[in-house]
């Protein structure tokens, strides 16, 4: 009986918190900014053992900013938030190649940082665990704005080029995927969010995945 009462108390507390969240934040909006760690998943899946020995992919970091708006929409009892941000996708790759110059016997280190800027439009459903903590999940669509590849040989930066020209890959398509994360309210106006983005579009050679952390201010 004690366990049943405990469960009912926890359930009713979550429901009350969810209703309070909807009532107080249904008309809210705010701005946010943060840092994201980016990589391309699956780029090495089709590579041969020889290629894997001479190639590696690392995460690349960048900043992003955005704006969000709570709505009166709900999915079931869960409120919906919409937003837009200026964000990025990308990765950092490192490869070792044989020096093809006549008479050369060494190897060359070739590095490429791929950074793609997107206008991201997203929506999320939010589940409130308490007056401080909430979980959220939803879709994100990225509209490609700009892409560039910064490359270097043996640590000497050579410059920037259009991605398709300099790498042979066409990352100039739009992107879409799923965002999933958690938020914590520091006070009535300021909160932090931690989450992941998992791309669903295969850009050949892979799908984007980001880990991000931001701080926001609500009005």
The answer to whether the CB of 191 falls within 8 A of the CB of 184 is yes
- pLDDT at position 8 is 38
Task: Quick: pLDDT tens for 24-47.
Answer: 445 689 999 999 999 988 755 555
Task: Quick: pLDDT tens for 90-114.
Answer: 888 777 665 555 444 456 677 888 8
Q: What is the pLDDT along the chain (219 residues), one digit of tens a residue?
A: 443 444 434 444 444 444 444 444 456 899 999 999 999 887 555 555 555 555 667 889 999 999 999 999 999 999 999 999 999 998 887 776 655 554 444 566 778 888 999 999 999 999 999 999 999 999 999 999 988 888 776 655 565 655 554 445 556 689 999 999 999 999 999 999 999 999 999 887 788 999 999 999 999
The whole-angstrom separation of Cα 195 and Cα 182 is 6
Total domains present in the chain: 1
**Domain range for 67:** 2-218
**pTM of the predicted model over 0.85:** no
- pLDDT at position 2 is 45
- pLDDT at position 144 is 93
The whole-angstrom separation of Cα 150 and Cα 162 is 9
- CATH code of 17's domain: 2.40.160.20
The residue among 175, 206, 168 whose CA lies nearest residue 45 is 206
The whole-angstrom separation of Cα 118 and Cα 138 is 17
The answer for residues whose C-beta is within 8 angstroms of residue 161's C-beta and 6 or more apart is 148, 149, 151
């Amino acid at each position: 009986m004690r366990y049943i009462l405990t469960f009912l108390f926890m359930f009713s507390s979550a429901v009350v918190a969810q209703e309070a969240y909807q009532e107080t934040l249904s008309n809210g909006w705010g701005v946010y900014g943060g840092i994201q760690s980016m990589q391309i998943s699956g780029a090495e899946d089709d590579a041969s053992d020889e290629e894997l020995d001479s190639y590696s992919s690392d995460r690349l970091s960048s900043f992003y900013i955005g704006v969000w708006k709570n709505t009166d929409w709900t999915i079931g009892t869960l409120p919906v938030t919409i937003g837009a941000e200026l964000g990025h996708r990308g990765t950092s790759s490192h490869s070792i190649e044989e020096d093809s110059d006549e008479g050369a016997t060494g190897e060359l280190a070739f590095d490429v940082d791929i950074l793609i800027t997107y206008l991201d439009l997203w929506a999320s459903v939010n589940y409130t665990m308490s007056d401080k903590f909430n979980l959220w999940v939803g879709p994100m669509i990225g509209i490609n704005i700009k892409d560039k590849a910064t490359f270097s040989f043996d640590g000497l930066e050579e410059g920037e080029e259009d991605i398709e020209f300099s790498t042979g890959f066409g990352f100039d398509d739009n992107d879409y995927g799923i965002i999933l994360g958690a938020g914590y309210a520091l006070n009535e106006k300021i909160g932090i969010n931690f989450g992941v983005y998992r791309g669903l579009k295969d850009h050949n050679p892979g799908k984007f995945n980001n880990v991000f952390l931001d701080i926001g201010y609500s009005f």
